[in-house]
Amino acid sequence: MENRYELNKNLAQMLKGGVIMDVTTPEQAKIAEAAGACAVMALERIPADIRAAGGVARMSDPKMIKGIQAAVSIPVMAKCRIGHFAEAQVLEAIEIDYIDESEVLSPADDKLHIDKTKFKVPFVCGAKDLGEALRRISEGAAMIRTKGEPGTGDVVQAVRHMRMMQSEIRRVVSLKDDEIYEAAKELRVCVQLLKYVHDHGKLPVVNFAAGGVATPADAALMMQLGAEGVFVGSGIFKSGNPAKRAAAIVKAVTNFNDPKVVAEVSEDLGEAMVGINESEIQLLMAERGK
């Protein structure tokens, strides 16, 4: 199993410096692949529509996911509800490349996350801070992403979560060895994982930004704040010119440190996703599953 976990962390390493895009149809998946997505997230409704529709949001129809798997050669991810291990089993049965145990869907368990060590397929999980990230990793997550606030086009929460994680990591690095035990208790995480963070100055798995990224500059911002890659959900297929915007965000992630490139790709992208401000929304998905 240890071997499998290493391979699963390795796949996330291959996704680094890339953009993972939400898609709802094989046609969208092909547009995303052609625009340079390093993976796609197959789901029936993008987060902005889930938010608008309300009600219970569940795992997508396996047939729809298989249609997307058949359409592209890049890795395909799909979401299951927090704690819904039977949905995860279904996704593993159709050989998904990565499962996102996601707060975007309605949680199925209000206390426990999935025991991800029981699966061969890798999991990515959302986190707002270092404690959440390390708890998910203890449960077997092979990749972490910020929660952000999905479906809003407002990057403020992704920024808050990434800054929080990075500043907590810096604090842990500065601790003396004998202070790590108390810090582990405070953060409610296991000592070995915290020791890894202390020694290496980073999470033991790849960490992406997600939630509210809508423009090339948003993506460059998250990369400069320490993200190793970016998920873009509603931001692409809710915009005026998805193919162009998707390709622009891909380039902005590669050359996030060169404002000239980001400026060039930001030109003439058409209408961005309208978005909702953080203060205007009723439901904070990021508060699900801590």
Partner 1 sequence: MFVGVLALQGAFIEHERRVAELGATPFEIRELRDLSKPFDALILPGGESTVQGKLLRELGLFEPLREKIVSGLPVLGTCAGLILLAKSICAESTVHFAALDVTVERNAYGRQLGSFHAQAPLLGGAEIPLSFIRAPKITKLGNGVEPLVVLDGVPVAVRQKNIIAAAFHPELDEDRSFHQLFLDTAAQAQ
The residues binding partner 1 (CB under 8 A) are: 3, 6-8, 10-11, 13-18, 33-34, 36-39, 69, 73-76, 92, 95-98, 120-122, 247, 250-251, 253-255, 258, 261
165 torsion bin: left (phi>0), alpha (psi -120 to 50), beta (else): alpha
- Spell out the alpha helix ranges (H) of the chain: 2-15, 26-35, 47-53, 62-71, 85-93, 130-138, 156-173, 180-187, 191-200, 216-224, 234-237, 242-254, 259-266
| Strand arrangement, sheet containing 39-42 | 206-208, 143-146, 123-127, 98-102, 76-81, 39-42, 19-23, 230-232
Nearer to partner 1, 98 or 231 (CB): 98
Q: Is the dihedral of CA 7, 93, 211, 187 positive or negative?
A: negative
Q: Which is nearer to partner 1, 33 or 100 (CB)?
A: 33
Residue among 36 and 148 whose Cβ is closer to partner 1: 36
Q: Which is nearer to partner 1, 38 or 46 (CB)?
A: 38
For partner 1, the closer CB: 94 or 190: 94
* Smallest separation, CB 8 to partner 1 (Å): 7
Which residues belong to the active site?
79
How far is the C-alpha of 68 from the C-alpha of 28, rounded, in Å? 9
Q: 């029936």: which residue's tokens?
A: 44
Least distance to partner 1 from the beta carbon of 114, Å? 17
Q: How far is the CB of 28 from partner 1 (least distance, A)?
A: 16
Instruction: Give the C-alpha separation, 205 to 188, whole Å.
Output: 18
Residue among 39, 8, 16 nearest 226 (CA): 16
CA dihedral defined by 147, 282, 47, 139, rounded to 10 degrees? 30
Alpha carbon distance 157, 147 (integer Å): 8
Minimum CB separation from partner 1 for residue 4, in Å? 9
The distance of closest approach from Cβ of residue 215 to partner 1 in the complex, given in angstroms and rounded to an integer, is 19
Q: Which helix (H) or strand (E) holds 206?
A: strand 206-208
Q: Nearer Cβ to partner 1, position 49 or 264?
A: 264
CB of 149 to partner 1, least distance (A): 26
